[in-house]
Structure 1
């Protein structure tokens, strides 16, 4: 059973190279999308795309967020500092194994292994504002090891698509299928210590194979492995919500138009 009294912490993988938007004058997580009131004089000033995710996590009750960086992306800690301006305690960890987001997330293992985790990608904009709160509530209601936040997406080939049972349990995850009748993709998640432990052990098992074949592992593939191992993965569907991956030029343009 999930211990609902444990603290909620956030994990943000920010170790990518941003090749789809390259070249950029800054890390893609700091690219300005939309505006907010300046904290001192109130006039509008640019808002970094990753700040939206951090604010979502803060609203869900997370007080500490671990941001996983690759060496050289020092503009992110230079910009956010300790996170106090967002009501957060930000800690920065350095990616050690370049085999995909799960390995970046696992860098926080020793810090979060007994806690509930809220997880999202810093270049995906989501609504509603209480998205993570709803995931945590769903976890409390079902006792799930993992809850995926699922949104209607127009282009299945850009997303990990999910197949759900009538109970809301996730039956299967299809990573970026070329063609699919599925309509829901997942963009955010929360999980408990059982999944943190499963992922840590699973990555140790598959690392040698990944090194031999090359390529990377996705978070969706690890969640599917957890389903295969009979961990309970539930869903929270946001029928009226939105998610937008701003990691491509066309979607970044759409986000700027929407929020400017």
Structure 2
């Protein structure tokens, strides 16, 4: 969970901002916060064990979701203090997941494909790829990782945050095997030893390095619509508008 500097000031972590509604067991509609969408999509794919890696100051997320029982999952929380990017945040869970298949989602990204994680998990199981990415149409190449994928679904390259790109796809979720978990852990140790600093390291940087080092990375489309990253006021307004209308219809 990131720092949301572009949305400041907010009364809560951006992942807890209400976007849309949900109906609880008593039949009453209540506000639905951004991160709940991701948790429900993970649960729908049969993923019950969830690690949430937090920066200091984001403890309201832990207070809000607790152990996850109300959503049918088990949530554990980890605090990260290394400020050099999302890969370090993810690697905080290394000792707990290093022998497991890992599914990655971002709690500040909204998308509407409920079967996305199931599709990516299935592809990884079928092809035994080191990493499988879930692809979305890209409407803002300057804000995301563009994915160059061949006709068989093998990723040739990751292009990170360029102003323009002819590539149609970006990735928003991922599933990977222990081989990539170990690769990222070792990559980050080396990155720190070389003096990690700005610019921020992205997950796409690590995936790109893994491709160059011979790991097999594949990708499949999981949605016909672009995801929304609520990291700016404009995109948060888009999310509120879209998800309010979903509940109005």
TM-score clears 0.5: yes
Gaps of 5+ in 1: 1-13
* Aligned match of 1:255: 239
* Aligned match of 1:111: 96
Corresponding position: 1:21 with 2:7 = yes
Question: How far 1:239 sits from its partner (Å)?
Answer: 5.2
Q: TM-score, normalised by structure 2?
A: 0.95
Corresponding position: 1:130 with 2:118 = no
How many residue pairs end up in the alignment? Answer: 244
Gaps of 5+ in 2: 245-249
C-alpha contact 1:128 1:242 (8 A) present in aligned 2? no
How big is each residue's C-alpha offset from its partner over 1:14-61, in whole Å with a ceiling of 9 and x where there is no partner?
1x110111110000110110000133x322111010010111111111
Q: Where does structure 1 differ by over 4 angstroms across 4 or more consecutive aligned residues? A: none
* Aligned match of 2:167: 182
Q: TM-score, normalised by structure 1?
A: 0.91
Q: How does 1:80-119 map to 2 (within 5 A)?
A: 80-119=65-104
Structure 1 counterpart of 2:34, from 49, 72, 75: 49
Q: Secondary structure at the match of 1:181?
A: coil
Question: How far 1:74 sits from its partner (Å)?
Answer: 1.2
How big is each residue's C-alpha offset from its partner over 1:85-135, in whole Å with a ceiling of 9 and x where there is no partner?
111100000002111000000000000001011101111112210100000
* Aligned match of 1:37: 23
Question: How far 1:207 sits from its partner (Å)?
Answer: 1.4
* Aligned match of 1:121: 106
Assess, with a 3 A threshold, how the Cα gap between structure 1 residues 97 and 139 changes in structure 2: closer, same or farther.
same
Question: How far 1:194 sits from its partner (Å)?
Answer: 0.3
C-alpha contact 2:119 2:222 (8 A) present in aligned 1? no
Question: How far 1:249 sits from its partner (Å)?
Answer: 1.0
Question: How far 1:73 sits from its partner (Å)?
Answer: 1.3
Question: How far 1:156 sits from its partner (Å)?
Answer: 0.9
C-alpha contact 1:170 1:233 (8 A) present in aligned 2? yes
Assess, with a 3 A threshold, how the Cα gap between structure 1 residues 208 and 51 changes in structure 2: closer, same or farther.
same
CA RMSD of aligned residues (A): 1.2
Q: Secondary structure at the match of 1:151?
A: strand
Assess, with a 3 A threshold, how the Cα gap between structure 1 residues 214 and 156 changes in structure 2: closer, same or farther.
closer
* Aligned match of 1:244: 228
Question: How far 1:215 sits from its partner (Å)?
Answer: 2.8
Assess, with a 3 A threshold, how the Cα gap between structure 1 residues 105 and 31 changes in structure 2: closer, same or farther.
same
Distance (Å, rounded) in 2 between the aligned partners of 1:139 and 1:245: 25
